[in-house]
């Protein structure tokens, strides 16, 4: 299975998103080296790949946190205990990765 973080230029959550995803993959017994990073830099590219905001987390080409937001170069927010956050919790990302891994077997 392939794993990818998609971001936009200048996103303050890009680096933390990559580290979070690598840590989650490692915690799930998966190779963090499977993770790639793709920077989405134009509205046309965002529309072509249905990019729903930065950062986005994908497994096997599917968004781990499906969204109905319009595709475009924007920030993305995730539910958190205290409201909204620029990153999902490690627990929610681990659950999403586990769900994807279970459905691929």
> What is the mean pLDDT for each group of 10 consecutive residues in the chain (105 residues)?
96 97 96 96 96 97 94 94 93 93 61
Label each residue of 25-79 as H, E or C.
HHHCCCCHHHEEEEECCCHHHHHHCCCCCECEEEECCEECCCCCCCCCCCECCEE
Cβ-proximal residues to 1 (8 Å cutoff; 6+ apart), any chain: 30, 34, 59, 60, 100, 101, 104
**Full-prediction pTM beyond 0.85?**
yes
């Amino acid at each position: 299975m392939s794993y990818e973080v998609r971001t936009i230029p200048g996103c303050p959550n890009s680096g933390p998103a990559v580290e979070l995803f690598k840590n989650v993959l490692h915690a799930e017994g998966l190779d963090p080296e499977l993770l790639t990073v793709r920077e989405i830099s134009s509205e046309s590219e965002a529309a072509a790949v249905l990019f729903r905001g930065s950062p986005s987390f994908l497994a096997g080409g599917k968004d781990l946190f499906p969204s109905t937001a319009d595709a475009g170069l924007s920030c993305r927010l995730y539910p958190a205990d205290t409201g909204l956050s620029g990153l999902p919790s490690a627990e929610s990302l681990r659950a999403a990765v586990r769900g994807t891994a279970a459905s691929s077997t």
